């Protein structure tokens, strides 16, 4: 069985050079520097790796997917820059955020410019022109959806929404761009529409599984490994499948009342947080969420069974397994970690 993390590290190292090669020196230098800041910092390179692997998995020439990999990484980083402004976050991966270093106007422009650069790169893809349309459709729809997902996230803040709304939000916010990278890679690799759609579904499901398992780790994980205490998500009132399940499943009105009084209470004690966890456990919510994450991943793996055996397919499967078989929360390749 392939070690997904190790393989990803290797791919990430290979993609580092291309990612740092598309932004030339130009005036004004402060804007150019700001556009380079996030993509040049390194990172998990999860989306670019997915684009390249999916190209290879359908029998394509992986080198042709590299520009798409770069474009998608730029788009991901553009959304992070704007995200950080919206959230007023001052640190990302322990370093100052773009707007802290360059000021908000420059950070807004740097995001816009990275987005534009991504399309300059995609317009030059070395594939039959007709296929460019398809790549553009997947990627542009993904960015549109991503904005919707982020807005839903803003709108949901402080509310416990339904499970459907929660899943739709994480799908739009996290999975769609990942899935567009996968589908785009498959298109570049020459896959037919049905195969492209299957690979898109694989990545959508995998993205959901990743995020759901990450939520699960936030409550049930070993906090010495996840780096975050159980109280973290509970105090923030984070809406997850565990929370939505608990709220609809708790029979005793007094317990429900108690649960709601702890959830989102920034002053809740560790004991109260443990109690909230216990309530979810008793309601079967933690098992439910883990099961849901597993189902997503199983589905992801099943839809790509048709692919011929290859190292790339092996990676796609190993990554899916890794999504629900890890104890490290920080380091989730998909979560938009800071």
Q: Which is nearer to a second copy, 93 or 141 (CB)?
A: 141
Among 120-128, 192-200, 265-273, 292-300, the segment contacting a second copy (CB under 8 A): 120-128
CB closer to a second copy, 62 vs 82: 82
State which residue, 42 or 105, has the beta carbon closest to a second copy: 105
Nearest to 142 by CA among 59, 203, 209, 57: 203
- Of positions 18, 61, 101, 140, contacts a second copy by CB under 8 A: 140
Which C-beta is closer to a second copy: that of 87 or that of 222?
A: 87
Q: How many residues bind a second copy (CB under 8 A)?
A: 48
2 vs 136, beta carbon nearer a second copy: 136
Applying the rule CB under 8 A, the residues between 77 and 106 that interact with a second copy are 78-79, 82, 85-87, 104-106
CB nearer a second copy, residue 132 or residue 328 = 132
Whole-number minimum distance, CB 177 to a second copy, in Å? Answer: 11
Shortest Å, Cβ 10 to a second copy: 31
State which of positions 24-83 bind a second copy (CB under 8 A). Answer: 26-28, 30-31, 78-79, 82
Contact 230, 223 (CB under 8 A): yes
3-state DSSP of the chain: CCCHHHHHHHHHHHHHHHHCCCCCCCCCHHHHHHHHHHHHCCCCCHHHHHHHHHHHHCCCCHHHHHHHHHHHHHHHHHHHHHHHHHHCCCEECCEECHHHHHCHHHHHHHHHHHHHHHHHHHHCCCCCHHHHHHHHHHHHHHHHHHHHHHHHHHHHCCCCCCHHHHHHHHHHHHHHHHHHHHHHHHHHCCCCHHHHHHHHHHHHHHHHHHHHHHHHHHHHCCHHHHCCCCHHHHHHCCCCHHHHHHHHHCCCHHHHHHHHHHCCCCCCCHHHHHHHHHHHHHCCHHHHHHHHHHHHHHHHHHHCCCCCCCHHHHHHHHHHHHHCCCCCCCCCCCCCCC
Return the number of the residue (111 or 333) whose C-beta is nearest a second copy: 111
The correct pick among 93, 144, 225, 252 for binding a second copy (CB under 8 A) is 144
**Min. distance of Cβ 109 from a second copy in angstroms?**
5
Closest CA to 320 of 288, 296, 289: 296
Name residue, tokens 């976050």: 89
Establish if 132 lies at the interface with a second copy (CB under 8 A): yes
* Touching a second copy, residues 152-171 (CB under 8 A): 152, 154-155, 168
> Contacts with a second copy in 294-323 (CB under 8 A)?
none
In whole angstroms, how close is the CB of 2 to a second copy at the nearest point?
A: 34
> Shortest distance, CB of residue 192 to a second copy, whole angstroms?
17
Q: Binding residues for a second copy, per CB under 8 A?
A: 26-28, 30-31, 78-79, 82, 85-87, 104-106, 108-113, 115-117, 119-120, 122-124, 128-130, 132-133, 136-137, 139-141, 143-144, 147-148, 150-152, 154-155, 168
């Amino acid at each position: 069985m392939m070690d997904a993390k190790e393989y990803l590290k290797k791919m990430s190292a290979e993609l580092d050079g291309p990612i740092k090669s598309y932004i030339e020196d130009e005036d004004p230098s402060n804007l150019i520097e700001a556009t380079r800041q996030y993509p040049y910092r390194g990172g998990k390179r999860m989306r670019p790796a997915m684009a390249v692997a999916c190209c290879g998995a359908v029998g394509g020439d992986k080198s042709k997917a590299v520009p798409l990999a770069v474009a998608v990484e730029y788009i991901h980083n553009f959304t992070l820059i704007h995200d950080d402004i919206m959230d007023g976050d001052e640190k990302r991966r322990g370093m100052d955020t773009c707007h802290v270093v360059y000021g908000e106007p420059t950070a807004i422009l740097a995001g816009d410019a990275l987005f534009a650069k991504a399309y300059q790169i995609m317009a030059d893809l070395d594939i039959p022109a007709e296929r460019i349309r398809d790549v553009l459709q997947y990627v542009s729809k993904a960015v549109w959806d991503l904005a919707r997902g982020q807005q839903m996230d803003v709108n949901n803040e402080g509310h416990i929404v339904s499970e459907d709304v929660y899943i739709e939000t994480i799908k739009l916010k996290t999975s769609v761009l990942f899935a567009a990278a996968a589908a785009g890679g498959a298109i570049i690799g020459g896959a037919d529409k049905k195969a492209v759609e299957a690979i898109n579904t694989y990545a959508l499901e995998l993205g959901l599984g990743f995020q759901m398992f990450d939520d699960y780790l936030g409550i049930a994980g070993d906090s010495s490994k996840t780096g975050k205490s159980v109280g973290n998500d509970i105090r923030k009132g984070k809406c997850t499948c565990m929370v939505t399940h608990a709220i609809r499943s708790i029979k005793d009105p007094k317990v429900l009342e108690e649960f709601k009084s702890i959830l989102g209470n920034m002053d809740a004690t560790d004991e109260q947080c443990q109690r909230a966890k216990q309530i979810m456990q008793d309601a079967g919510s933690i098992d439910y969420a883990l099961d849901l994450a597993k189902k997503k991943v199983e589905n992801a793996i099943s839809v790509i069974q048709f692919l011929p055996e290859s190292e790339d397919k092996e990676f796609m499967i190993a990554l899916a397994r890794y999504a629900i078989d890890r104890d490290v929360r920080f380091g989730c390749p998909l979560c938009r970690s800071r």
